[in-house]
Chain A
Amino acid sequence: GAVVSQHPSWVICKSGTSVKIECRSLDFQATTMFWYRQFPKQSLMLMATSNEGSKATYEQGVEKDKFLINHASLTLSTLTVTSAHPEDSSFYICSARGSLTFMPTQETQYFGPGTRLLVL
């Protein structure tokens, strides 16, 4: 089945540093990738949607200069949290939507395992 990988799975960093998270679709081409954030015991919050080769579309309230998204290829998207602060500590999850017929639907989203970010 479809697999989405995310790296790293855990990050602990000092306040003010930048952190890059990679999201890869391993067995399909992801025309669209999504970045979510989830705080403890809360629902998924969509941060941004990115299509390969174009600029990401950010949700209201998400700072595009702080959360840099690059969707350079059909299998890779990166999220860079710039100048991270303790309030950015969260569970960041990417998901990918592909266009291959083996999926239940061409629009199914498959999730990566997530990245836990702790900013000290």
Chain B
Amino acid sequence: GQNIDQPTEMTATEGAIVQINCTYQTSGFNGLFWYQQHAGEAPTFLSYNVLDGLEEKGRFSSFLSRSKGYSYLLLKELQMKDSASYLCAAMDSNYQLIWGAGTKLIIKP
């Protein structure tokens, strides 16, 4: 079956770095997406990886290892506004997104 695993909740300190891991199993693979969702709001697109390696975009970076079925989202210089849920989603061979349950990130001052 198809499955996405990511931690339910993580806590980090303002100014620090946090890495949110995601492992996936899908029928075929057409890329790995990360979305950010603040409480009460819809998700917003953060990143997309289809090739192995690290993609950096400002304070956020996303990494993919296709052979390991593994991705992570790295958030640097954490700010209070980064408190949100982070959703990992893998695209299968039918171009359907398979969603993880999300990781709630709590930032403490």
Contact = CB atoms under 8 A, between A and B. Distances in A.
Contact of A43 (B42, B50, B95, B99): B99
Contacts, number: 42
Interface size bracket, A side: 10 to 19
A110 B35 CA distance: 10
B102 A43 contact: yes
Interface string A87-120: 0000101000100000011011111111000000
A51 to B, nearest CB: 11
A113 B41 contact: yes
Nearest to B104: A41
Contact of A108 (B40, B48, B101, B102): B48
B44 interface: yes
Contacts of A43: 87, 99-102
Given A43-B101, A43-B102, A107 B95 contact: yes
B41 to A, nearest CB: 7
Interface residues of B, number: 22
A30 to B, nearest CB: 14
A44 interface: yes
Nearest to A105: B48
Interface of B: 30-31, 33, 35, 40-45, 47-48, 50, 87, 91, 95-97, 99-102
Interface of A: 6, 43-44, 46, 49, 91, 93, 97, 104-105, 107-114
A-B CB proximity, top 8 nearest: A43-B101, A111-B42, A114-B42, A104-B48, A93-B42, A111-B43, A107-B95, A113-B42
